[in-house]
Amino acid sequence: MRIDIISVVPELLESPFQHSILKRAHERGLLEVNVHNLREYGLGKHKQLDDYQFGGGAGMVLMAEPVANCIDDLKAQRTYDEIIYMTPDGKLFDQKLANRLSLKENLIILCGHYKGVDERIREQYITLEISIGDYVLSGGELAAAVVVDAIGRLIPGVLNDETSALFDSFQDNLLAPPVYTRPAEFRGLKVPEILLSGNFPAIEEWRYEEALKRTQERRPELLDE
Ligand code: ADE
């Protein structure tokens, strides 16, 4: 998979993909993330990217032309499955959407800034708008990093244990069960006996019951879906 991220603050995206699982995804040739500095497409000698909004009101708006030129350049090089815009009024990101996007070949992610981008870009170029939650960030970069992380680890071959993503929270609308590691007793607190039993069908059953219990307690609405 190839992901092209368009940003006004590319520095914010320097580190997130260079560690741990996403680093491995890159090393295995499974995920390539390219961050494009929108400033390079800025207009005039000041490389202008934003302007006042028509009709008045506080806050600057990302101009259509630099964004259109940047997307046009990318589209001239390959076909994109989705052109995504990160925005608080987009579709709420969840595991289901992460699963769907992890099967794509080429994605563009446009990070919003200031008051947002000129609506004509959203109408003419954007195929999917994503929000990572009901709160407002100062820009779309951290949201884009969340989306890339969530989908990157789902690309087949990225996780060592192919099954482990299948047991993530949300994968089947259940939160994950509790986990323990050594020592079996820590400050008097013991690991549940069943996990030490070696009885794997019984362990699976216990995990399922715990996941169900946890979901019931914390996110009961997931069980209705
Ligand atoms: N940009 C600003 N806030 C955002 C959010 N909650 N999700 C996605 N992009 C954003």
**In the 3-class helix/strand/coil scheme, how is the chain assigned residue by residue?**
CEEEEEECCHHHHCCCCCCHHHHHHHHCCCCEEEEEEHHHHCECCCCECEEECCCCCCCEEECHHHHHHHHHHHHHHCCCCEEEEEEEEEEECCHHHHHHHCCCCEEEEEECCCCCECHHHHHHCCCEEEECCCCCCCCCHHHHHHHHHHHHCCCCCCCCCCCHHHHCCCCCCCCCCCCCCCCCEECCEECCHHHHCCCHHHHHHHHHHHHHHHHHHHCCHHHHC
169-224 has the same fold as 2-152: no
Task: Please give the distance, rounded to the nearest whole angstrom, from the Cα atom of residue 11 to the centre of ligand 1.
Answer: 18
Nearest residue by C-alpha to atom 10 in ligand 1: 87
Which pLDDT tens digit goes with each residue over 130-141? 999 999 999 999
Which pLDDT tens digit goes with each residue over 16-68? 999 999 999 999 999 999 999 999 999 999 999 999 999 999 999 999 999 99
Check if 92 has its Cβ closer than 6 Å to any atom of ligand 1.
no
Which pLDDT tens digit goes with each residue over 175-224? 999 999 999 999 999 999 999 999 999 999 999 999 999 999 999 999 99
Check if 87 has its Cβ closer than 6 Å to any atom of ligand 1.
yes
User: pLDDT band for position 117 (50/70/90)?
Assistant: very high
Check if 121 has its Cβ closer than 6 Å to any atom of ligand 1.
no
Ligand 1 atom, smallest distance to 86 CA: 9
CATH architecture of 2-152: 3-Layer(aba) Sandwich (3.40)
By most ligand atoms within 8 Å of CB, the mutation choice from 9, 137, 149 for ligand 1 is: 137
What residue ranges do the domains of the chain occupy? 2-152, 169-224
- The pTM assigned to this predicted structure is 0.94
Whole-number pLDDT of residue 169: 78
What CATH class is the domain 169-224? mainly alpha
Ligand 1 atom, smallest distance to 87 CA: 9
Check if 66 has its Cβ closer than 6 Å to any atom of ligand 1.
no
Task: Please give the distance, rounded to the nearest whole angstrom, from the Cα atom of residue 133 to the centre of ligand 1.
Answer: 7
Nearest residue by C-alpha to atom 8 in ligand 1: 131
Check if 134 has its Cβ closer than 6 Å to any atom of ligand 1.
no
9-18, 167-176, 185-194: segment of lowest average pLDDT? 167-176
